[in-house]
Amino acid sequence: MTPFRKSAQLLGALNAFVGLTLSVLIAIALNNLATQKLCNGILLLVIVLVIRTVVSFASEEWGYATARTVRDQWRSGLTRHLSIPRFSGDRSRADLAQAIDHASEGPLLDLLLTSAQLSLLGIGVVFWSVGWLSSAIIVVLLLLAVPFYIRAGKQSAEISSDYNHRRAVLESRQLELLDHAVELRGLGAVAYGSNEIGAISDSEHKIALRAIRVALGSSLVTEFISGVSIGLVAMVVGFGLLNGTIHLQHALIAVLVTSEIFSQVRRYGSEFHRRENAVQSIALLTLSDPVLGSPSTSALLRASKLVTHVNSTPFESVLLPGSQLLITGTSGSGKTSLLHTLLGWLSPTHGEVELSADRIGFVSPNSGLLSGSLWENLTLGENHDRLKVAQLLSDLGLDENRFGDLDGLLLADGRGISSGEQVRLVLARTLLADPQLVLLDDIAGLLDAASKQNVQNVLARYSNIAIIEATVDNPILTNPSDRFEVRS
């Protein structure tokens, strides 16, 4: 982003300088016309028009080009965003596209800010041309406008955050109600779902209307202060012309430069609230790297004094190939949050995580299957020996009558398959991907004794894989090299 910021500042400075210079040239041209120097006046006006058109066109083209480049840069980094799960109440995936659009406006807003700031040098031109009173009017009214811009920007940021939260709630609630539509219909409670969606949708529309009101209010304040300033300066120089204390050319310079100053300020002021959206969007799109420091040559995972947002018990561990770590704790104590923090899906409140494993498997009761064939779900497009895949399923206790046809189709989310069968299929997919590290999030409770024994026997064959298991009781790991208890 730094190169764009520098170029934005350079173009903003050029835009301000050209704007002020052209205002002075227009004043000279109008003075020439007023004193019957028609050729000089018309020539100057044509020159001003050409320069203004070229600068405006160049600025627009630069804005389009940089916005497109910034969008492409952020889009190229979406893979990691999509690899991080979204939890209940989090922002929706659709917000990433909106955030990229807002972030792409950053360079143009930097240009407008620099242009507005440097256009204030025109106050010196006004002072030189007509004296201190007009300059003082401009300064006072500009100072009065600043609090309104700041307030409008903060309100817009708050409304945008609220709007995104409501929209995420609406999307997740719609999917949830659709998923349970059959049950609701059977209970005669379809109206309950439709009424709830309607209420959330209405609140979303109200927030959008609030955002529009804030934007209009900011624009009205800008237009009012701009109009008052130009009017007062025109009145002051008008009296000076009547008294013969001010030359016509100087009077025209003062009025036109004042208009140019407030034109630049007005352009940035009307976009002030978008700056807050751009800053928030960049913060949303910027992901912290879970690997801190230089990765160890042997350790797959290293955690130091790690504290999560759920549990304050410091966690420390160094996980080597073949190591097995058992994380225990009561339900709700924060075991899953600790695993998500180790993977970089959640940010720690304290401590560091160094994750150097290239391939990581995560198996939980919420791990999903894709709509498609069993073979596609297990191999994910990689080449594997079909006999070995079938043998792995058999070793995991997955019945050949149900899972013997590798080309058989599965329904999305594993519908028609039990939870125990689903986690074993996900585990098979994980092992076929040749992972260095596997995390098992409380899946032991979904397995009967025979299935658990099958999983233990299979995992015992992968002695080079590091395994972390989180469970309430009855773990799959029978001989972990380390244990950690999460206490709520």
Q: What pLDDT shows up at residue 293?
A: 40
pLDDT at 296: 44
- Total Cβ atoms within 10 A of residue 444: 20
Domain parsing of the chain, residue ranges: 2-285, 301-485
Residue 28 is predicted with a pLDDT of: 92
**Contact of 395 with 462, CB cutoff 8 Å:** no
Chain position carrying tokens 């751009």: 278
pLDDT value of position 50: 93
Fold of domain 301-485: Rossmann fold (3.40.50)
3-state secondary structure of 124: helix
Element housing 447 (H / E)? none
The predicted-structure confidence for 364-375, as pLDDT tens digits, reads as follows: 888 878 778 888
- φ, ψ dihedrals at 162, nearest 5°: -65, -40
pLDDT for 78 equals 63
Q: Identify residue 416 by its one-letter amino acid code.
A: G
**Residue ranges of the chain with pLDDT lower than 70?**
1-3, 77-98, 149-161, 163-185, 189-190, 192-193, 196, 200, 204-205, 207-208, 210-219, 221-222, 269-281, 283-297, 412-415, 488
> Are the beta carbons of 356 and 301 closer than 8 angstroms?
yes
Rounded-to-integer distance, Cα 450 and Cα 88, Å = 34
User: What class, spelled out in words, does domain 2-285 have in CATH?
Assistant: mainly alpha
Predicted pLDDT at 91: 47
Write the CB contacts of 291 (distance below 8 Å, at least 6 apart in sequence).
Answer: 353, 354, 355, 356
Q: pTM for the whole thing?
A: 0.54
Structure tokens given for 298 = 């042997």
Burial of 378: CB neighbours in 10 Å, binned 0-12, 13-18, 19+: buried
pLDDT (0 to 100) of residue 88: 46
